[in-house]
């Protein structure tokens, strides 16, 4: 892969010492409503977002295989028990909730894309960011596998997020830029090697 400039990148992964990302930069009233995916996405996105973004804004590509699955489970339980669900809960259960929250927080007027794929979501999202052919913010975030789904999802994952501020205006494809399956760890390792 040639012609891609990765200006900055940041990653976060839940650990026993740091189980939740630090979103102290978000005003307290807004912070209360943030979901786990939004918290993780905002943390890494804020770390790489330029201090002086362009007036027209910065395009954002957000990728997450499961998105707001924990919120969705809570809504399904609520609907099963009460026959209805919270409109406020539903508003943050959609796949584009995290990039929407980021756009509101940063007053970013540029468009955003939310990507989900059955397999290779991280690589698919990064390829979409490359295809923007401009300076773009790429964000990938997943929450920890909910206990309800752990038997069905195979190995459970912890919450993770990664963001890269990149410029692909002169990018051209010269082969596979990412490892085939592109796990979170492989992607971070690839970024540590300057995308080589």
Range of the domain at 156: 5-191
pTM recorded for the entire structure: 0.83
Domain-located, residue 88:
yes
Which tokens hold the place of 68?
A: 């707001």
Which tokens hold the place of 159?
A: 């919450």
Which tokens hold the place of 176?
A: 């596979």
Which tokens hold the place of 50?
A: 């330029």
DSSP label at 146?
A: P
Domain-located, residue 67:
yes
Q: What is the CATH number of the domain that holds 167?
A: 3.40.47.10
Task: Return the pLDDT at 171.
Answer: 67
Task: Return the pLDDT at 196.
Answer: 47
Which tokens hold the place of 24?
A: 């102290």
Residues of the chain above pLDDT 90, percent: 31
Give per-residue pLDDT as tens, 142-192: 988 888 777 877 777 889 999 999 998 876 655 555 555 567 777 787 777
Give per-residue pLDDT as tens, 4-19: 788 999 999 999 998 9
How far from chain centre, in Å, is Cα 52? 21
**Radius of gyration of the chain, Cα coordinates, nearest whole angstrom:** 17
Domain-located, residue 133:
yes
- Is residue 45's pLDDT more than 90? yes
Residue whose pair of structure tokens reads 């189980």 in the numeric block: 19
Domain-located, residue 196:
no
Phi (first) and psi of residue 9, to 5 degrees: -150, 160
Domain-located, residue 97:
yes
> Which H helix or E strand runs over 162?
strand 160-167
Residue 190: C-alpha distances to residues 82, 84, 178, 182, 187 (Å): 47, 45, 7, 9, 5
Number of domains in the chain: 1
Which is nearest to 63 in space by CA: 157, 128, 149? 128
Domain-located, residue 166:
yes
């Amino acid at each position: 892969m040639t012609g891609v400039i990765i200006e900055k990148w940041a990653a976060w992964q839940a650990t026993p010492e740091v189980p939740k990302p630090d979103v102290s930069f978000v005003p307290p009233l807004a912070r209360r409503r943030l979901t786990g995916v939004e918290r993780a996405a905002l943390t890494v996105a804020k770390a790489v977002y330029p201090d002086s973004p362009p007036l027209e804004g910065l395009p954002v590509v957000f990728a997450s295989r499961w998105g707001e699955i924990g919120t969705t489970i809570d809504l399904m339980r609520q609907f099963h028990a009460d026959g209805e669900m919270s409109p406020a809960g539903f508003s943050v259960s959609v796949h584009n909730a995290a990039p929407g929250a980021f756009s509101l927080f940063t007053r970013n007027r540029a468009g955003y894309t939310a990507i989900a794929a059955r397999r290779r979501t991280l690589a698919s999202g990064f390829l979409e960011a490359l295809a923007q052919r401009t300076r773009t913010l790429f964000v990938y975030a997943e929450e920890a596998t909910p206990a309800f789904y752990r038997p069905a999802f195979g190995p459970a994952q912890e919450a993770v997020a990664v963001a890269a501020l990149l410029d692909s205006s002169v990018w051209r494809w010269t082969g596979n830029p990412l490892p085939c399956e592109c796990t979170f760890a492989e992607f971070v390792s690839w970024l540590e090697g300057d995308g080589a």
